[in-house]
Structure 1
């Protein structure tokens, strides 16, 4: 899972650093090229009400005549116009030009980076539909290889983009790889792991290697100082998908569900040898008999689609709840990632500090999820994340606001990892990849709205976190209506999925064992 975790992080976050724009920029005036930047601003750029220089306006005067007359400071009564010759950028805080600064995605074009993010998530919707279907019909491995190679080719093509639409098309195809480049491997691994180790395997890989990838990414950008090179470097992990066919075994659980039982047994015998175990052959005979019997009972399973999740009442309810909760998590997570960069502090440091919260969040989750359970943990982490998001918008100090926002990010990290595991545990094997893909697709739909929410800071810097906080509280409240999956076997058939959790009550918290509310069936 390790290289796929790096791919997951790089595919998601690299676009932030290849479209990053310095905080300070102003109109370029070719006639003043011989002056230093401070003198150019004093002579050519009007000031705002708070005394800073305008980013999108310049004085509409004859600068050649002004230089000849020895004028060094602008007269505020001069006429003003929009920038006519491009922009200059202060690269002291962002030490390299990005594609956004090279193509001047500022002022009237300042929404282009946000559009590019939305287009990226549109690609994710298409990728989820395609590769979720591939994974359930042709196997987890073909889907894993296909999504990684698609992302690699599109990432490399990104460096050739010379205008917004070329860039947007490339990022659409990179989006097809997100987050399928990781999720397919995640599903495959979880389909091998028993309940007692499921939480550890699902979360500690993310805790360690996702944290390394995300905290390191800003500094790869900082020291390469080249957005094209950054794009190439971060795409290399996707090449692992090309060799996965020779390393990773297909999911034995999926093979059994497809009546390819002998292939599954071959794989398990390899595991037996590697793990130095010795099982009685009668165990495999019993597996073969049981699997054939189940296959006859559910012969129509090959035609199952994601629509089957909505045909029975409890499975439909659980699927809709998973969708709504994951939409909340996706919007909250993506919003925190992008809004923290707008707090007016060093973007490389704040991104790394916020990303570093992944390790303690996932470590805490790994140690406590199998004690506290999924349901109330998801509820608490999402609601508290929403509350801290709102609190960060109510303080005036940038540093205190950043601390509160980072706590909110810590909590939404917990929610994200619960959500990843929750959907893979609740949905049945025969449509698990399609179902998880559908849940994630709807998360991408929600994430498309994230750039719009972050763009609200143009009107008021406090608005994005207020909106994100309200969404977190509302979405988190839905978690208590899902079944608890702690120590439960994964459902395999649609019938298993419909019955899953029927015996439960809306539950005592497993750590204290006290019932809170009666059954919702």
Structure 2
């Protein structure tokens, strides 16, 4: 909406208010990085073996085994007690519940329901963001994230674990996307890309890198869930700091609230704006909305061939990226060469250079070329990682004993 960009330029489109929003967005990215990493960190599968018939001082095996080691039995259900080789003393959800071998499917069900919750929550909370405002949707989503993580601490049965994973997943994406929208809609267009690069490339990267080591420092999956969820209690206070989106207020024809939000931005940025400027702005917005007889909604994405094509391309792109991320994340569980926590942390260091590369080249080669290049590189490096890094370790493990039943 060009009228909003013009009035924001007069009120200050990169002043103290924008810096406050940028700082809060960066802080939220650090917290949410911990929150997202918890989804896989708490279900880390350490080396395990059947302890039936073994002396208490017996040396642990090199790789995981589901069947009793001192018998020729291949019936996993015959094992009554498992032991785990915890990494640096970290006790995961898996080592407490024994969801391994024949019970490994329970973790997969929890992960699948987390994704289902994310799908439903993105639609519901996204719709809420368009109907009642960006700030209420942001606050509700992060409170749901906090509650979902907190309740998971008590969800060690399959039913409760699945319910709490759905609740946690329900807020995924909305708990940060609304803050991105508020940041973008209050900053001048020329600085939007670099500001988003700062919040994700630096601060989300720092949170994601430190998350595995924080879990090791805290020692248990419950402590890490508390550590990653309690800081989200600060998000409701954003309501008193961050102004509501002016563009959204105008789109809902809440003109008085839009002017109040603009006055607040101008005051914090130290700008004095005449009342006549706001009146002219509202008149221009009303005129523009009168000329536009169509009230856009979600179904308008399918009305023209161009919009349908763009929507399908974006859906395909996100599906490829999500699938590749899933493969790499799950493959880490099967690598016996490296510490999962170290690999998780090292992998997250790529966030910063990825954003820097995008920042440097997207204005040179264009958005479409950048997306195509990124997808090609993603597919290539995923293939090379699978062939060159893990297959050798898997072959070695298969030659030693029966393969472990990993997720």
Alignment partner of 1:19 is 2:43: yes
The whole-number CA distance in structure 1 between the counterparts of 2:389 and 2:297 is: 51
Greater RCO, CA 8 A, separation 6+: 2
Mapped contact 1:4–1:237 kept (Cα < 8 A): no
Equivalent of residue 87 in structure 1, options 82, 100, 119: 82
Per the normalisation by structure 1, the TM-score is: 0.66
Mapped contact 2:100–2:405 kept (Cα < 8 A): no
Equivalent of residue 90 in structure 2, options 73, 96, 112: 96
Post-superposition offset of 1:279: 4.2
Mapped contact 2:201–2:351 kept (Cα < 8 A): yes
Residue 355 (structure 2) aligns with = 362
Mapped contact 1:7–1:182 kept (Cα < 8 A): no
Residue 7 (structure 2) aligns with = none
Deviations 1:293-328 (A, max 9, x none): 122234552xx4312211222222222222221222
The whole-number CA distance in structure 1 between the counterparts of 2:299 and 2:230 is: 36
Alignment partner of 1:381 is 2:402: no
- The verdict on how the C-alpha distance between 1:240 and 1:54 changes in structure 2, with shifts beyond 3 A counting, is closer
Residue 371 (structure 1) aligns with = 364
Instruction: Count residues with an aligned counterpart.
Output: 373
Post-superposition offset of 1:17: 1.2
Residue 201 (structure 1) aligns with = 195
Mapped contact 1:147–1:177 kept (Cα < 8 A): yes
Q: Secondary structure at the match of 1:26?
A: strand
Mapped contact 2:335–2:390 kept (Cα < 8 A): no
The whole-number CA distance in structure 1 between the counterparts of 2:334 and 2:382 is: 14
Residue 320 (structure 1) aligns with = 312
Deviations 1:329-355 (A, max 9, x none): 222234333434433311111111110
Deviations 1:467-509 (A, max 9, x none): xxxxxxxxxxxxxxxxxxxxxxxxxxxxxxxxxxxxxxxxxxx
Alignment partner of 1:275 is 2:296: no
Alignment partner of 1:308 is 2:303: no
* Bigger shift: residues 140-149 or 316-325: 316-325
Q: Secondary structure at the match of 1:88?
A: strand
Alignment partner of 1:36 is 2:60: no
Per the normalisation by structure 2, the TM-score is: 0.84
- The verdict on how the C-alpha distance between 1:170 and 1:393 changes in structure 2, with shifts beyond 3 A counting, is same
Post-superposition offset of 1:2: 1.9
The whole-number CA distance in structure 2 between the counterparts of 1:54 and 1:326 is: 34
Mapped contact 2:212–2:344 kept (Cα < 8 A): yes
Q: Secondary structure at the match of 1:249?
A: coil
Post-superposition offset of 1:397: 7.2
Q: Secondary structure at the match of 1:392?
A: helix
- The verdict on how the C-alpha distance between 1:231 and 1:192 changes in structure 2, with shifts beyond 3 A counting, is same
Q: Secondary structure at the match of 2:242?
A: coil
Residue 339 (structure 2) aligns with = 346
The whole-number CA distance in structure 2 between the counterparts of 1:112 and 1:245 is: 39
Residue 3 (structure 2) aligns with = none
The whole-number CA distance in structure 2 between the counterparts of 1:325 and 1:53 is: 37
Mapped contact 1:18–1:98 kept (Cα < 8 A): yes
The whole-number CA distance in structure 2 between the counterparts of 1:370 and 1:229 is: 44
The whole-number CA distance in structure 2 between the counterparts of 1:241 and 1:188 is: 14
Equivalent of residue 246 in structure 2, options 252, 269, 272: 252
The whole-number CA distance in structure 2 between the counterparts of 1:460 and 1:84 is: 14
Mapped contact 2:209–2:346 kept (Cα < 8 A): yes
Post-superposition offset of 1:95: 2.5
Q: Secondary structure at the match of 1:395?
A: helix
Post-superposition offset of 1:226: 1.0
Q: Please give the root-mean-square deviation of Cα atoms over the aligned residues, in Å.
A: 2.7
| Greater Rg over alpha carbons, structure | 1
Deviations 1:247-277 (A, max 9, x none): 1111001111111122212222222222233
Q: Secondary structure at the match of 1:112?
A: helix
